[in-house]
Structure formats: structure tokens, C-alpha cells
Amino acid sequence: MSETQPAGAFRIRDAVPADFAAILALNEASVHFLSPLDRARLEALHAASAWHRVAEADGAIAAFLLAFRECAVYDSPNYRWFLRRYPRFLYVDRIAVSESARGAGLGRLLYADAMEYMRRAGITAMCCEYYVEPPNPGSALFHARLGFAEVGRQHVADGAKEVSMQVLELDPPGP
């Protein structure tokens, strides 16, 4: 994995255990759109992930993205939904951007960073989901602008929530 310095004051790099407190705080601030996370669970997810990156500005974590390959040992019902349908993919489990950094393009930068990893690894399907019940119109718009398409829906949290299962197909690597 590498470190990138995008335009602006943000630096994208691999997440490390020293970042976990900030990642947990970002997750908690967006928990109404993400599943809850504690330190032990984050440590396990980090160890199983294929791509766990943060965006930082002035030494502070402003966003993170956590993603898994099809070979991960992961108990998420949404991940397992994609696992049953796609032989090779990168599943974006969660992404969160701090309130102060929203609108700065960090979500797009983190997704582009993950797509570069996919290109190098020869992966063409990026998978994710977002809540449609309760509604998450910001995520719906963000993913539509990136070119994601709905490939199904499922109920989670004992039927209390519904998610839109999304896939973005990248062009296969050239010769």
C-alpha cells in the first residue's frame, strides 16, 4: 500500500492502530448510517480488511474507508450477500467523513484510491450498500454520481432497516 498526497491539504494513507480512536469517533458520529463499532471489533475488521485507509489533514483523521475482498472471513450479512453473487470484488464496508470535512471531496478521493487498488489487483466489481430505510439520500446521490447501480435490496437489523445493494463495474485491466 502507498501514501498519496491529493490536491489540497489532505493526505491519504494506510490506517494504523494509532488511528483507531479517531476512526471510532468518526464511526460513532455517523452510526445512524453505519453499524456500531468498538475497539475490539475494529481491530478484527482491520486485520481482515484488504483496504483500510484514512484521509488526514494537519495530523488529524478527517475520513476513513474500510473494505474487504471476497476471501475475507467476515460475518456481515451485507458482505455475505455479495459473496453469494460475485466471485471477485472489493466490498466497501464503511466510509465516514468528519462533519468539518464534508464537501471537501474526501469520499470521492477515498473511493478513487480504492479503485486504484482494484485496478492493480485486477478486480472489476466494487460493492457497497446504503440505507434506504431509514433513508440516506446523501449516500444515494454520492453513489449514483460515481456510477454505482442497485443490484438488489435486503432487510437487516431484524427487519428494522433496508439497504440498497450497489455495484460499480470497472473496466477490466488492459493488455
Domain ranges of the chain: 11-169
Helix axes 137-146, 106-121, angle to 10 degrees: 50
The arithmetic mean of pLDDT across residues 47-71, rounded, is: 95
Per-residue pLDDT, 33: 75
Grade residue 103 by pLDDT with cuts at 50, 70 and 90: confident
Amino acid 7: pLDDT: 44
* Bridge partners, 120 (sequence order): none
Q: Which tens digit of pLDDT belongs to each residue from 8-48?
A: 588 999 999 999 999 999 988 887 777 779 999 999 999 99
Round the average pLDDT of the chain to a whole number and report it.
Answer: 91
Q: Among 77, 75, 85, 142, which Cα is nearest to 109's? A: 142
> pLDDT digit string (tens) for 114-137?
999 999 999 999 999 999 999 999
Query: Is there a cis peptide before residue 134, judged by omega within 30 degrees of 0?
Result: yes
pLDDT at 8: 57
Q: Please check whether residue 54 is in contact with residue 21, taking contact to mean a CB–CB distance below 8 angstroms.
A: no
What's residue 94's pLDDT? 93
Q: Give domain 11-169's CATH superfamily.
A: Gcn5-related N-acetyltransferase (GNAT) (3.40.630.30)
* pLDDT in the model for residue 28: 86
